[in-house]
Structure 1
Amino acid sequence: MSSNTNLDIWFAGAFAAFSVDLLVYPLDTLKTRLQSQDYEKLYRNSNGTINRSLFRGLYQGVGSIILITIPSSGAFFTTYEALKYGLKDWIPPNSSLYLPQPAIHAVASGTAELVSCAILTPAEVLKQNAQMLSAGKRGSTSLHVFRHFKKQPSRLWRGYTALAARNLPFTALQFPVFESLKGYFIRRRQEKKGGQSVDGIFERARITALSAGIAGSGAAWITTPIDVVKTRIMLAAASLDDGPKQDSKPRSSSWLLHGVQGTRKSGLTVAREILKAEGVRGLFRGALLRACWTSLGSGLYLGCYEGGRFYLESAREEASEDNSLQRDWSKIKVGVGNSRSQDVVKKSAWQDD
């Protein structure tokens, strides 16, 4: 069990989310535009070439997502770490009830994702609609989008089910594979170093990033159809039309009508419409880009988290050791002895091996 406090985990998760959002946000914007129902109309020229507007305003909506991903990421990792060890402690060692490690990781990450999605959904809706705005608008794009939700702010949570439906299978696939790969790379590293433990911040972050990148890219590719449906539903949430009513007046803000017509369509209905109109290729639109940016994003995200968490853990242990030495001078050792890296310390919550 890690000696980190919940506050340590929260800060490490928030730091990771902030860092990654700034770096990979442009790729997420491109993915949203590729998955939009109006991609061909808005970002393709009549001769089939890509319109330059596809690459403009790639940071539109970044403010809202950064502000919300900080608490949502902290909530995710706090819940994940607590459940990961809580489930192990709940099952007695000699109990007939057996829950394999991949199942524990899947349950812990899935539950943590439900908590995180409840916090993240409004920002995700604002972000994806802001990403579809024409580049060059003055002022905050997030505030511009938010004005359309003033009368019915509950619509900001309309994409929760779609977001959870995408993220649950994604995390259920990613985290068991991630934990398995991380354990494999750690064992290989220990074999090469004669059983020496992995104590370096950068080494642990590198192993974590590599494992997360591989696991994340595979999970992202598989869950792309759910992500396409989620994108269409969230883009439609900003539509001024909240039902099947017909309005004879023309809409001046055409960007608000991107996505599916009618904001209350179920995910299954949207998927069927995409399959009928665009085929299987439509459900996997942006799959390669999503797999690539998820590999990069997951690697940086969990790598930064692990590095930040281990840094805080090390600082806490050093402070505790210094206080102990100040209270008891007899514990000071003189001469050649074991280094601190050879001391037995508690295992990290991300290193169970």
Structure 2
Amino acid sequence: MEADGLVRRRRMTAETTGNDSGVAGASAGAEIRWLRGRFWGVSESIVGSLTPRIGGETELQTVDFVSSAQDAETEDTEPDYEGLPQGASTSTHMLAGAVAGIMEHCLMFPIDCVKTRMQSLQPDPAARYRNVMDALYRIVATEGVWRPMRGLNVTAVGAGPAHALYFASYEKLKKTLSDVIHPGANSHLANGVAGCVATLLHDAVMNPAEVVKQRMQMYNSPYRGVLDCVRAVWQKEGSAAFYRSYTTQLTMNVPFQALHFMTYEYLQELLNPHRQYNPSSHMLSGALAGAIAAAATTPLDVCKTLLNTQESLTLSPLSSGQGQGARRHISGLAHAFRTVYRLGGLQGFFKGVQARIIYQMPSTAISWSVYEFFKYGLTKHQHNKRKTQYVEAEI
């Protein structure tokens, strides 16, 4: 790197101490030297520059690289990854959010398949499971090792843009509203409102993918693949079928995300008050926030699954004895609530709660950890680029 060359040139003009030693960094590209009693690190890659913990409160300081040996010694501080440079922050948040969303959904997809099946109100006798592990074992043993992964491709396609909009809008609104509601400090109200608005954009993109995914996850799903499912739903139920559960999903996700973001930010204040890059605090805060929000919104998730899957075994008894004009589809949150209560009682609203919590805890932990990791890595890259540009301008 150019900065590395500047360090070597300065070492030619100033006498170094004899006992200075180089220390190997976390990656092959990192090289740390002692120069005139000061610690100086140079990283050759974004990932190689990541350290376990960096301060989030420091300001970017300007270093005079061409000063003489008699100049006062200065220190190069790390960038504040919580305050991204203007003009690049939105793209950074979108890229970090897209990667986080895809990894979150893909890594935990088998548990999501189990959750969908366990929320079935009238499952086939062969699809009645005791717990999550029993479900996974029986699905793999009877239907094949790849069966829990059906629908993964459409989920990945939807998760990228959905989470890009989700995190970018959340970060922008959180900062804007916090400056209005509680200038200079974190506002839980701003976090909650930002999470709700971000959910509107996320679900608008993700809802069609959810419909296709859950229909392919059901036991004895009749669809050969994603395109076959899309074509069949479009021809038999119309385009509205892809958004039949949208209002229900919003009714679920708005309180879910509000509770999720408020809990995450609150736990960050307790575990990571200086807002440093600290993977363990991001993972723990994300996992606990996801578990609490998932448990509280399970009844709405059961209704959403019913609206998305339109279980044939559930609809049959509801329409038996009725005329030709009987309603063929479950439509609307109120209709779904009545159906769940009629077939499962109050207990029916918490079908699959164990699987939902087991799915959400690592999912939100992964999402926040990956998001914060990439946000910090991209910000550090921008910091190094600006530092290099400044050095070139000074020379």
Number of residue pairs matched?
294
Change (3 A) 1:246 1:16: farther
Q: Report the secondary structure of 2:331's partner residue.
A: coil
- The answer as to whether partners of 2:114 and 2:136 remain within 8 angstroms in 1 is no
Greater RCO, CA 8 A, separation 6+: 1
Structure 2 counterpart of 1:253: none
1:84 matched to 2:182: no
The one-letter amino acid paired with 2:211 is V
Question: What CA deviation, in whole Å up to 9, does each residue of 1:110-135 have, x standing for no partner?
Answer: 00001110111100000000111537
Partner of 2:84: 2
Which protein shows a greater Rg?
Answer: 2
CA distance, structure 2, for counterparts of residue 312 and residue 172 of structure 1: 27
Contact in 2 for aligned 1:162/1:230 (Cα 8 Å):
yes
2:270 alignment partner, one of 184, 187, 192? 184
| 2:385 paired with 1:319 | yes
Residue 159 (structure 1) aligned with residue 249 (structure 2)? no
Task: State the match for 1:342 in structure 2.
Answer: none
Residue pairs, 1:35-184, within 5 angstroms? 35-44=119-128, 54-55=139-140, 56=143, 57-91=147-181, 93=183, 101-132=187-218, 134=220, 141-151=225-235, 152-184=238-270
Aligned-residue Cα RMSD (Å) equals 3.0
SS in 2 for 1:150: helix
Counterpart CA distance in 2 for 1:71 and 1:323 is: 32
TM-score of the aligned structures, taking structure 2 as reference length: 0.68
In structure 1, distance between residues paired with 2:282 and 2:312: 38
Counterpart among 279, 284, 287 of residue 350 in structure 2: 284
Partner residue in 2 for 1:297: 363
Pair 1:208 & 2:282 matched: yes
Contact 1:236 1:262 in 2 (8 A): no
One-letter code aligned to 2:256: F
* One-letter code aligned to 2:267: L
User: For residues 292 and 78 of structure 1, do their structure 2 counterparts lie closer, same or farther at Cα, with a shift above 3 Å needed?
Assistant: same
1:198 equivalenced with 2:272 (yes/no): no
Alignment partner, residue 293 of structure 2: 219
Could you say which residue in structure 1 is the equivalent of 2:310?
Answer: 236
Mapped partners of 1:18, 1:52: distance in 2: 25
Q: Counterpart of 2:148 in 1: which secondary structure?
A: coil
Aligned-partner residue type, residue 316 of structure 1: Q
Q: CA–CA distance in 1 between the matches of 2:230 and 2:94?
A: 28
**1:299-320: CA deviation from partner (whole Å, max 9, x where unpaired):** 0011101101110011111111
- Percent same amino acid among aligned pairs? 25
Q: Given the alignment, which residue of 360, 364, 372 partners 1:306?
A: 372
1:15 counterpart (99, 108, 117): 99
How far apart, in 2, do the equivalents of 1:42 and 1:271 lie?
26
Change (3 A) 1:51 1:172: closer
What is the one-letter code of the residue matched to 2:346?
V
